[in-house]
Structure 1
Amino acid sequence: MDAFDVSNKGVWYPLNLLADAHLLEYHERSKHRVNCYAPGPMGLDWATQPDPFRVFHSAPRMGLPLAADTLATRYNELRRGVLPPAQKFDISTLAILFELSLGLSAWKSYGAQRWALRCNPSSGNLHPTEGYLLCPALSGVSGGVHHYLSRDHVLEHRAAIDDPQWDEAFRGSGVLVGITSIHWREAWKYGMRAWRYCQHDCGHVIAALSYAAAALGWQTRLMEAAGDDVVTNLLGLNRDEDFCVDEAEVADALLWIGDPERLPDLERMRTALNQATWHGSANPLSPGHVTWPDIDSIQRATYKSCTREPTPRHLEPRPLPGLPALDLSFARIARQRRSAVNFDAKARITDAAFFSMLACLLARSDTPPWNALTSLAEVHPVLLVHRVDGLEPGLYVLVRDPGALPPLRQSMRPEWLWRKTGPDYLPLYLLLPYDLRGAAKLICCHQDIAADSCFALGMLARFEIALKQPWRYRHLFWECGILGQALYLEAEAAGLSATGIGCFFDDEMHGLLGVQNHNWQSLYHFTIGGAVADPRLSAFPPYEVQP
């Protein structure tokens, strides 16, 4: 077993135990507490605010058509697993894939300030996530590695590959999308806790890509067996000469979009890359930087090596979710999604609509966004219900995997009711009937939006699996982000709005539930309600106005 002398005093520890220790240290140090927030910048240095758009200067560009409005797919079809016939992979369909997942959704302005919104949400609208396309030669698209620049809706050709092994590795059945993070973009504002938010954003992107791919009739699978080194090499992130020292990108995930029964040969792709011609160098994002060693430490601690392909999960058939209030096209709902800033404390939702939303958080075979994952559900929403007609206000939990019910009950307060509530097919349990608006506001860093909603929730993750396999810490946050993206779209379809909440007092939530150890931890919070529009802001179409 590999070992390391952590103290240079002749005391040797297995590397996996060191990773556990660094993980737990980061997790505890990055918690917000009522009397002390996690370490962050003392103030915002606006002169060093990172550029939200990464550009590879001198890389050949390929303009993409704005074709999303030609897509007929309805959102309700996707949420019920009714996908259209698979379209062919070409420049038009790939343009739609990126436009409705990582593309811009609008520009907004206030006075002289102007900023972009995207289909994928991000903490503080800072967007640490970058997207890459890896593809064989297709109609209108050269084979190789491309970076997607959302600002201009173009592909930047990072690596040109003239080797038949590259095209053969895709087996004629799909493309790959790589997801990376630039931690500095989030750390500029949020400091140590920024790494958590980068992982949330990665989860949102996985879900956004899964929905957009499904709208084109394509399935999505996370390439879970691939190690970080493999993804790093495939995306060219190991080419230090192409990046600024303090603005490196790190590998997050690799998604296969296409036939899930014919996965690509990553080793053949890596071999073909040896003959690639690389183009472009990354633009500097900031004139100055602040180093957060804890972020580097947790990134190293959660390093993932290559693992075996996971055993496919068996999903029991589930009833289809009820129809939402609005029947929207997927293109419209993907672009109208917004993160609410304030709620009106008046909007209500029916219990039927609430149950329908929750049903979409349960995995169903080949249904987005859960078709991207092959592992069992490890994150379970704990709901603080305020304004749901026909449902008693109180504390509820949605147990997304039946095998999690016994350990969840054992880890929480013994006095909880655990009363089955709602339709038979929905694993929803009432723990405590009570008005929890004050508790929701307190837990979410005293933010009114958690109390003024129809309901708020915390995402309780099986943290113990990360202590055994530290790379799963990242995957738990991704699962939270995927849940969040599903809730965003469900809120829009219900005529409401939603917002993810990264600022919450971790242990206040645990104290409410009675969680006393690290078997379970709350990793993300969320809230849905009636948004209050800000009349001071002006909005513009995404690709008709440039700053």
Structure 2
Amino acid sequence: MTTGALDYHERTKHSPSSVREGGHGLDFDNKPTPYKEYTDLPKKTLADRIRPPRQPALAAIAEPTPDGDPRRECRPDLETVTTLCYYAAGVTKEIEKRGRSLRFRAAATTGALYHVDLYVVCGDLDGPGDETGEPSRDLAAGVYHFDPRTLSLDVLREGDHRGALANASAHEGVADAPLTIVTTSTWWRNAWKYGDRTFRHAFWDSGTTVANLLAVAHALDYRAEVVTGFADRPVADLLGVDPEHEAPLELVPIGAGDTVSGSDPASTADEIESIDPDTAPLSPNEKRFPLIHEAWSAGALDDGSAADAWRASKPVGTIGTRGPGDGERVALEPVDRETASGRPVHETIRRRGSCREYEREPISFRKLSTVLDRAVRGVPMDVRRAGERGESSNARAEDAGAEPPLSFVDPYLLVNGVDGLEPGTYHYQPADGELERLRAGELRSEAGHLALDQRLGADAAVCIYFLTDLEAVVDALGDRGYRAAQLEAALTAGRLYLGTYAHRDLGGTGLTFYDDVVADCFAPRAAGQTPMFLYTMGRPA
């Protein structure tokens, strides 16, 4: 049985009545561990020294293409793998609270439940030469699981299995990459608290994780992009996971120039030898939520040929977005590269948190402008397709080529505390670098109500919502289009996190929302649209 994306989304919407009637206590004795622990696999300790990516965060997140620096020798090594995994999903801070040690990861995740895992699929990665000038074998070809507890890799398979990913995706970037990082979600680790909404959270939380991953890869000048079209079960079989418990979400190929031979998009999952490594139980009583697996199954693809056809099915241009109207326009005022915050991406990731309290003090319009300007430029996803280049007075649109800044989602702002910007609601036009005013007036109580009646929403200087016309997306891309729209919103929000924390006096966090009430707030412009993500920004208390 499968549940289509539209039905799933409708059944998992929050409303004031559903939240009021659906509350349940949490069984902390049955809370799942936030780590996957293999009981009998060898480990590969990662490099002792992490290579901090020193490019400014605001520059790293502004990269909308997968290209990297063509002058760089695109050969990642073990140190590269260490840096990528650590700054995407590693433990970056530890706090003692009431006698307990709380460990926080590099990327924001719903409820700090950390249900997203990283797997590394690579060919032989050679390190620097030894005394004889011969390269040393840093990391042998294989399939590995990243263990953030111990900063090590669990060895799942030996040998070069990149061809399996190339077959499953039929994607040139995957076939040409020395390594690919695969993200997964273990449903129960999030569903313990959030139930059926976990399928949404899988893309929210993998999106913020992949935002870090892309920023670090681009800061190190490696080619990197996000591949959303692939045959699901062959990838799950390669990793040795059962999609009813843990399923693959995205492929992120890193680097270029190491094409794997013998790939065939028509190959079947039967060619992948099955593995079923033992893992420690997540909790005493793991519960199942059939709706999650049904929604996942509805968007699954059978083989690489199906993945290639799915990508090609997207019409040119945008889907699910709304064009501008005739409202008053306010041009953003971002600072230039020379005067922008120079906080390196590694310091920004370590500093990042999820703000738990805002002061009701205004933030700078220039800083808001800079964060929006750098973060909302589009992300390198395989399903994005360029339209015809049109006339534009905006240099950023020209720099990005013919691709629109966003393909599936519209950014809307609810402003309550920005110096020089009148309170009210706005529709952000990223291709033009302008905010179009929809409604004027302070809306703090409304902002709090939209955010599940949380004070953080009311106190934030600005709430940024990403909405899409989900029916249009599913009509064009099928049920798998739901994943792409959720991911584009979350990945862009992940870049907003990094842009926010690149500034000393800004803080931010993602919040849950009442779905239909959000759409009503931005009507009539948002008629027929539904929210995918809510990110808030302000001055932290």
In the other structure, the counterpart of 1:47 is: 29
Query: Do 1:59 and 1:279's aligned partners in 2 also have CA atoms closer than 8 Å?
Result: no
In the other structure, the counterpart of 2:358 is: 343
| Letter aligned with residue 507 of structure 1 | D
Structure 1 pair 298–172 and aligned structure 2 pair: CA distance change class (3 A) = closer
Matches within 5 A, 1:71-470: 71-81=53-63, 85=72, 88-139=75-126, 140-161=138-159, 173-238=177-242, 248-259=245-256, 267=264, 274=271, 280-305=277-302, 306-308=306-308, 310=311, 322-323=336-337, 326-346=341-361, 348-363=362-377, 369-370=379-380, 374-375=384-385, 377-400=407-430, 425-468=432-475, 469-470=478-479
Query: Do 2:75 and 2:125's aligned partners in 1 also have CA atoms closer than 8 Å?
Result: no
| Letter aligned with residue 113 of structure 1 | R
Alpha-carbon shift at residue 473 of structure 1 (Å): 0.9
**Where does the alignment leave 5 or more consecutive residues of structure 1 unmatched?**
1-5, 7-17, 241-246, 402-424, 533-547
**Aligned mates of 2:96, 2:145 — CA distance in 1:** 27
Q: What SS is found at the alignment partner of 1:191?
A: helix
In the other structure, the counterpart of 1:538 is: none
Cα distance per residue 1:328-367 (max 9 Å; x no partner): 1111111211111111112x22222222211123336xxx
In the other structure, the counterpart of 1:527 is: 536
Alpha-carbon shift at residue 259 of structure 1 (Å): 2.8
Query: Do 1:210 and 1:372's aligned partners in 2 also have CA atoms closer than 8 Å?
Result: no
Cα distance per residue 1:76-133 (max 9 Å; x no partner): 3324449664553111111111111111111122111222111111100001111100
Alpha-carbon shift at residue 515 of structure 1 (Å): 5.7
| Letter aligned with residue 507 of structure 2 | S
Query: Do 1:343 and 1:453's aligned partners in 2 also have CA atoms closer than 8 Å?
Result: yes
Query: Do 1:91 and 1:138's aligned partners in 2 also have CA atoms closer than 8 Å?
Result: yes
Query: More displaced, 434-443 or 169-178?
Result: 169-178
Query: Do 2:178 and 2:258's aligned partners in 1 also have CA atoms closer than 8 Å?
Result: no
In the other structure, the counterpart of 2:325 is: none
Q: What SS is found at the alignment partner of 2:16?
A: coil
Q: What SS is found at the alignment partner of 2:139?
A: coil
Structure 1 pair 38–378 and aligned structure 2 pair: CA distance change class (3 A) = farther
Query: Do 2:211 and 2:494's aligned partners in 1 also have CA atoms closer than 8 Å?
Result: yes
Cα distance per residue 1:494-539 (max 9 Å; x no partner): 22111011x211111122222699841112111001222xxxxxxx
Structure 1 pair 360–467 and aligned structure 2 pair: CA distance change class (3 A) = same
Q: What SS is found at the alignment partner of 2:436?
A: strand
Alpha-carbon shift at residue 67 of structure 1 (Å): 3.0
Alpha-carbon shift at residue 40 of structure 1 (Å): 5.6
| Letter aligned with residue 108 of structure 2 | P
In the other structure, the counterpart of 2:132 is: none
Q: What SS is found at the alignment partner of 1:101?
A: helix
**Aligned mates of 1:277, 1:296 — CA distance in 2:** 21
Query: Do 2:509 and 2:537's aligned partners in 1 also have CA atoms closer than 8 Å?
Result: yes
**Aligned mates of 1:354, 1:255 — CA distance in 2:** 29
Over the aligned positions, Cα root-mean-square deviation in angstroms equals: 3.4
| Letter aligned with residue 233 of structure 1 | D
Structure 1 pair 145–279 and aligned structure 2 pair: CA distance change class (3 A) = farther
Alpha-carbon shift at residue 141 of structure 1 (Å): 0.7
Matches within 5 A, 1:479-494: 479-494=488-503
Structure 1 pair 345–264 and aligned structure 2 pair: CA distance change class (3 A) = farther
**Where does the alignment leave 5 or more consecutive residues of structure 2 unmatched?**
127-137, 168-173, 319-331, 386-405
Query: Do 1:491 and 1:498's aligned partners in 2 also have CA atoms closer than 8 Å?
Result: yes
Structure 1 pair 391–203 and aligned structure 2 pair: CA distance change class (3 A) = same
**Aligned mates of 1:26, 1:150 — CA distance in 2:** 32
Structure 1 pair 275–448 and aligned structure 2 pair: CA distance change class (3 A) = closer
Across the two proteins, how many residue pairs are aligned to each other? Answer: 476
| Letter aligned with residue 293 of structure 1 | P
| Letter aligned with residue 473 of structure 1 | Y
**Aligned mates of 1:386, 1:304 — CA distance in 2:** 44
Matches within 5 A, 1:499-518: 499-501=509-511, 503-514=512-523
Query: Do 1:363 and 1:370's aligned partners in 2 also have CA atoms closer than 8 Å?
Result: no
| Letter aligned with residue 500 of structure 1 | G
Q: What SS is found at the alignment partner of 2:154?
A: strand
Alpha-carbon shift at residue 267 of structure 1 (Å): 3.9
**Aligned mates of 1:259, 1:25 — CA distance in 2:** 40
Compute the TM-score of the two structures, normalised by the length of structure 2: 0.79
Alpha-carbon shift at residue 235 of structure 1 (Å): 2.1
Alpha-carbon shift at residue 270 of structure 1 (Å): 7.2
**Aligned mates of 1:134, 1:523 — CA distance in 2:** 30
**Aligned mates of 2:342, 2:421 — CA distance in 1:** 25
